Amino acid sequence: MGDIEAPANNRSQQTAFRSLLPSKEFISSRKGQLLIGEVVTSFISFVCFAASTAAAFVTAPFIEFLAALFLLFAYSTKFNERFKGFHWPLMDFLRCVSASIIFFIISIIAVSKYPDGASKAAGVFGFIGTIIFALDFYFIFNELANFLKGGDSSGEPPNTQDNDSDSDSD
């Protein structure tokens, strides 16, 4: 009887694990790819800063890694649609703007003032992260601007996760 219950228990564990993973549709969207890029570059930058003499800057990439990971989870599981307490696109926009500014500043400092290779690598990945975060806030800004220009009375901006196609709202 234990043999019959084990596969059913294993299937439920696999189902529970798969519910935590982002959906394939979201991963293939522009927003999904940007968030994955933010998570990866923030984590690599965090590891490089932790291994370098510029370890004082380790907090910023770690916080941005956690924030990007949370939003990846929230957008992929549609948590943002169930929890209406925040204005998600505006929160995401502010996160991206602050992250791109902070990554740019700490990357310049890491590359120019610290001689070790790990600091240089952290700076390079910080610059890559700056570009990814800047692209993300550029796309979010355009979506919010189009929403405000359109005067949509629904009170909801366009969904920021599935914008691979151009809209003809003129």
Question: For residue 2, is it within any domain?
Answer: no
Question: For residue 10, is it within any domain?
Answer: no
| Per-residue buried b or exposed e for 32-56, using 16+ beta carbons within 10 Å of the residue's own CB | bebbbbbbbbbbbbbbbbebbebee
Number of structural domains in the chain: 1
Domain carrying residue 138: 25-78+89-150
Please name the residue that has the structure tokens 């043999």: 3
Question: For residue 4, is it within any domain?
Answer: no
Q: How far is 137 from 140, CA to CA, in rounded Å? A: 5
Does position 165 have pLDDT exceeding 70, yes or no? no
The predicted-structure confidence for 105-154, as pLDDT tens digits, reads as follows 999 999 999 999 999 999 999 999 999 999 999 999 998 888 888 865 45
Question: For residue 134, is it within any domain?
Answer: yes
Question: For residue 17, is it within any domain?
Answer: no
Contacts of 13 by beta carbon, 8 Å cutoff, 6+ apart? none
